[in-house]
A and B are shown apart, each in its own frame.
Chain A
Amino acid sequence: MKIRWRLSPGRKPFKSLYLHIILWFLGRSIQAAVHIDPKIRQEFFNLPDDMTFSLGVEPQGPRMVIRKSTQTGVSYLGRASRKTPADLEIKIHDIEGAMLLLTFRESTAISASHGRISIVGNVAHGCTIVRILDQLEILLLPKCIAKRAVKRYSTPDRIGAMRTRLYVRTLIGY
């Protein structure tokens, strides 16, 4: 019988890189979308001030943190340290689950019902964040992809203009 004593954890460099990029992009686009989409603005209005929330892969994977504050509005804080937990954390349990969710092959609802994500913190705020993410996906993605990511797709008014502004603001970080 052969015995091998240890096996160091492997790497998934491409998936990891993709997730870093997409989370960076989502973080910055949430920050920008507040200025562009009234629905997202309204949802943020309902959240308490100085609240932070994170979306990331557990336990040590890529993630993004967003803060809503009265002074600076909604701001993207990058990866931020895990030592101080966010007020609300949307945790994706593994990297494959994150790929399914963030390549928009699986909607947030399906991921939640398959137990791939869990929400730690105030569930009502979690529901608001999920609505924000759904609306963001509608704004960012072409209809055929966004339809897989949300349960009900409704085309917002002047989506073309909004989408262009959103991409420009996201990329220049404004």
Chain B
Amino acid sequence: MSSILDYDFYAYPNICSGLKALDTIPRELLSFQASNPLILKYQKDPSRLERQLKAACCTSQIVLGPICRIPENLSKDDISTIVDTMKESSVDSIIAMGSGTIQSVAKLVNSLYCCDFALEEIESLPCDSFTPLPHIAVLDERIDGREATNRLLLDEYRLHHDSLYPEYIVIDERMMASGRDKESAASAIISLTQTCEAYRDYLLTPVIASWTKSSLHFLGEYQSMSTKQAKIALINAAVATQIAHSNIPPGPVTTISEMLAISGFCSEAQAMATLLPHFLSQLTFDKGSPLDESFDEIAMICSDVPWNDIQQMISELLKNYERYIHCSKTSGIITSLIRQTHRLMQHSNNTEIHTLITDLVSHTTSQTVMGGEL
């Protein structure tokens, strides 16, 4: 019989957060004997980030480059160009500046480069037998929930393997930009969803409890302020929860939201914001269900974070989110999935959940494409 004391947990990244954290990158590069990093950054991001990274190298004399400025709509050709660039300049590490897509790009090109595979061969990538280049992830507040994990999702490409964990995660306030409140709110919802899913997992192991507890504390800090400090707390929360979340099977809310996002209905955060309250309220209805029991365990293990406080935090964060993003357009479609969600949650077998969700989403997609109302 398995218990909360039986687990297999892996948290690879080294996390560096705070004042002048960006300046620790050259030393970190030297510590794994790298001196020729590939830099990935969003094309639309200010060039001051490059200058700051360049200035950080002043005592190490590391020559940075090549620098690829990733456009918003990345094509397959772009991926191949990056891999060719890596080959041409024999890079020995990757620094990806920004959150979201760019980290998935970094993981993808890292895998392709190290295995010497073309993009078309990605399905047969031998994930268990390659040592990736050290990947430094410099995060900002546009979190997609996969940056610190062993997962990547880029259009139709998906990979899930421990070699994909970034080596070093940097959280520096200089990466934050003003006027990204909308993105921050979305990031908070993604992090909150992952935290709740990890928190309600049937087997809340002590180590997952530690990471999610830290994440909740960080989210509490984010909720009470609206400064760069708050954004640092938010990214810390995201990283902590992603690490916990990458050690459990993905929960129903993240899985459905991911599917909906791929289908182009709405953003992941929009789907999560709509689904999460229902998901959580469901938990209180099913007295005696395995989920209900798992909440008893949570109450026992984490009694210092009262459930009422978490609910309060959730409603505050949702309010904050709604201020920036209107969910009304998509909520009609998503609400109809809630009944199904309830059914999914009764199943503990992950494969089964996955199949059900896939069926559900393909069904939803076909109906919507045809213009029908659910």
Do A and B associate with each other? Answer: yes
Q: Determine which of B58, B63, B65, B85 lies in contact with A95 in the assembled complex, contact meaning CB atoms within 8 Å.
A: B58
Contact of B217 with A by CB under 8 A: no
B54, A8: Cβ atoms under 8 Å? yes
B56, A1: Cβ atoms under 8 Å? no
Mask of B8-27 contacts with A, CB within 8 angstroms, 1/0: 00000000001110011011
Q: Determine which of A59, A60, A61, A96 lies in contact with B20 in the assembled complex, contact meaning CB atoms within 8 Å.
A: A96
Task: List, in ascending order, chain B residues with CB within 8 A of A114's CB.
Answer: 18
A58, B59: Cβ atoms under 8 Å? yes
Docked complex: B26-50 residues within 8 A CB-CB of A: 26-27, 30, 39, 43, 50
- Name the distance in Å between B35's Cβ and chain A's nearest Cβ: 11
Mask of B69-94 contacts with A, CB within 8 angstroms, 1/0: 11100100010011001000100000
The tally of CB-CB contacts under 8 A between chains A and B is 92
Contact of A93 with B by CB under 8 A: yes
A94, B26: Cβ atoms under 8 Å? yes
B20, A1: Cβ atoms under 8 Å? no
B24, A6: Cβ atoms under 8 Å? no
Given A1-B43, A96-B20, A97-B23, A8 contacting B59 (CB threshold 8 A) = no
Residue of B nearest to A6 (CB): B65
Contact of B57 with A by CB under 8 A: yes
A100, B67: Cβ atoms under 8 Å? no
Q: Determine which of A1, A16, A94 lies in contact with B23 in the assembled complex, contact meaning CB atoms within 8 Å.
A: A94
Contact of A158 with B by CB under 8 A: no
A1, B81: Cβ atoms under 8 Å? yes
A75 to B113, CA, bound (A): 53
B66, A96: Cβ atoms under 8 Å? no
Task: List, in ascending order, chain B residues with CB within 8 A of A123's CB.
Answer: none
A59, B68: Cβ atoms under 8 Å? no
- Name the distance in Å between A89's Cβ and chain B's nearest Cβ: 15
Q: Determine which of A3, A4, A6, A60 lies in contact with B59 in the assembled complex, contact meaning CB atoms within 8 Å.
A: A60
Tell me what chain A mostly uses at the interface: helix, strand, loop, or mixed: loop
- Name the distance in Å between A59's Cβ and chain B's nearest Cβ: 5
Tell me what chain B mostly uses at the interface: helix, strand, loop, or mixed: mixed
Task: List, in ascending order, chain B residues with CB within 8 A of A95's CB.
Answer: 23, 58-59
Mask of A1-30 contacts with B, CB within 8 angstroms, 1/0: 111111111111000100000000000000
A7, B64: Cβ atoms under 8 Å? yes
Contact of A57 with B by CB under 8 A: yes
Residue of A nearest to B43 (CB): A2
B55, A10: Cβ atoms under 8 Å? yes
Contact of B315 with A by CB under 8 A: no
Task: List, in ascending order, chain A residues with CB within 8 A of B74's CB.
Answer: 1
- Name the distance in Å between B49's Cβ and chain A's nearest Cβ: 11
Task: List, in ascending order, chain B residues with CB within 8 A of A8's CB.
Answer: 54, 63
A93 to B55, CA, bound (A): 15
A3 to B81, CA, bound (A): 9
A2, B60: Cβ atoms under 8 Å? no
A94 to B66, CA, bound (A): 23
Given A9-B57, A10-B58, A94-B20, A3 contacting B67 (CB threshold 8 A) = yes
Task: List, in ascending order, chain B residues with CB within 8 A of A58's CB.
Answer: 27, 59-60
Q: Determine which of A6, A94, A96 lies in contact with B63 in the assembled complex, contact meaning CB atoms within 8 Å.
A: A6
Docked complex: A124-167 residues within 8 A CB-CB of B: none
For the A-B complex with A7-B67, A57-B59 known, give 5 more contacts whose Cβ atoms are closer than 8 Å: A5-B89, A6-B64, A7-B63, A12-B58, A60-B61
A-B contact pairs, 29 of them (CB 8 A): A1-B70, A1-B71, A1-B74, A1-B78, A2-B43, A3-B67, A4-B66, A6-B65, A7-B64, A7-B65, A7-B67, A9-B60, A9-B63, A9-B64, A10-B56, A10-B58, A11-B55, A12-B55, A57-B59, A59-B27, A61-B58, A94-B20, A94-B27, A94-B56, A94-B59, A96-B20, A96-B56, A97-B20, A97-B23
Chain A residues within CB distance 8 Å of chain B: 1-12, 16, 57-61, 93-97, 100, 114
